[in-house]
């Protein structure tokens, strides 16, 4: 794991499709600062396991920062300005988060995209996110920007049909994935996380997903 991180900058970017790429190690230089913010904000809006509409408890723990937060419960998926757990607004999007998301979007040519929502996901061994489209956002012109921190995950990158067989890409600490334009509605997910020990995040993987909700 240590070695994978040492050589992170030598890994290549991966083009996933039109308007979609893995930017290898793009967030490495701010990773520690991102984690400090995650810890601070999760004291305000705690990580929780949300329920799906069907009543299943998600294996990934989540909270949000920004004006809008993605929530799921028995009545479905949607964006809310108030954290239902605390009854107060989600923690503010730190300028560092916004700056990183904008710089990553710029590289793919999505300049001017300003996210107003950031979902923070926490995975432990066994956590997974099944294939889905990010489709609760009113604004689908803006790309999705996703930052990986901690344990290595296997990202599933499918097609426009749920049945399209997904490609598998490893996501390392500091990697950023951007998908927008013709790839904005591609099915994606995260395979079951394998247990390991990461020097920065221990037994966890974190993921920040930036969207423009409104
Ligand atoms: C997501 O699709 O919302 C998260 C993806 C990830 O954890 O890498
Ligand atoms: Fe997603």
Q: Point out the ligand nearest to the CA of residue 186.
A: 2
pTM: 0.95
For ligand 1, whether the C-beta of 24 sits within 6 Å is no
pLDDT recorded at residue 1: 42
129 CA to centre of ligand 2 in angstroms = 8
Q: Are 209 and 145 in contact (CB under 8 A)?
A: yes
For ligand 1, whether the C-beta of 127 sits within 6 Å is no
Q: Point out the ligand nearest to the CA of residue 156.
A: 1
pLDDT recorded at residue 112: 85
Helix (H) / strand (E) element for 211: namely strand 205-211
Residue 4 half-sphere exposure toward CB, CA atoms < 13 A: 15
Q: Is 76 left (phi over 0), alpha (psi -120 to 50) or beta?
A: left
3 CA to centre of ligand 1 in angstroms = 24
pLDDT in tens, the chain (214 residues): 444 555 555 689 999 999 999 999 999 999 999 999 999 999 999 999 999 999 999 999 999 999 999 999 999 999 999 999 999 999 999 999 999 999 999 999 999 879 999 999 999 999 999 999 999 999 989 999 999 999 999 999 999 999 999 999 999 999 999 999 999 999 999 999 999 999 999 999 999 999 999 9
DSSP helix/strand/coil, 83 = coil
167 CA to centre of ligand 1 in angstroms = 15
CA nearest 211: which of 78, 122, 27, 34?
78
Q: Are 173 and 200 in contact (CB under 8 A)?
A: yes
For ligand 1, whether the C-beta of 152 sits within 6 Å is no
Domains, the chain, with CATH or none: 8-211 (2.60.120.590)
Strand residue runs (E) in 39-166: 61-65, 69-73, 76-80, 117-123, 129-132, 144-150, 153-157
For ligand 1, whether the C-beta of 209 sits within 6 Å is yes
For ligand 1, whether the C-beta of 188 sits within 6 Å is yes
For ligand 1, whether the C-beta of 212 sits within 6 Å is no
pLDDT recorded at residue 113: 79
């Amino acid at each position: 794991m240590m070695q994978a991180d040492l050589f992170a900058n030598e890994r290549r970017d991966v083009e996933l499709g039109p308007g979609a790429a893995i930017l290898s190690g793009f967030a490495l230089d701010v990773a520690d600062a991102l984690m400090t913010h995650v810890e601070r904000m999760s004291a305000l809006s705690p990580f929780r396991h949300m329920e799906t509409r069907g009543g299943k408890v998600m294996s990934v723990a989540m909270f949000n920062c920004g004006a809008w937060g993605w929530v799921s419960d028995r009545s479905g998926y949607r964006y809310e300005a108030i954290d239902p757990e605390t009854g107060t607004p989600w923690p503010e999007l730190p300028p560092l988060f916004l700056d990183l998301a904008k710089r990553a979007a710029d590289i793919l040519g999505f300049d001017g995209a300003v996210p107003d929502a950031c979902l923070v996901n926490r995975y432990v061994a066994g956590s997974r996110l099944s294939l889905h489209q990010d489709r609760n956002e009113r604004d689908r012109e803006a790309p999705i920007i996703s930052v990986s921190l901690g344990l290595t995950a296997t990202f599933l990158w499918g097609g426009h049909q749920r049945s399209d067989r997904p490609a598998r890409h490893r996501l390392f600490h500091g990697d950023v994935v951007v998908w927008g334009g013709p790839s904005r509605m591609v099915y994606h997910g995260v395979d079951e996380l394998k247990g390991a020990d990461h020097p920065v995040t221990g037994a966890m993987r974190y993921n920040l997903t930036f969207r423009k909700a409104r």
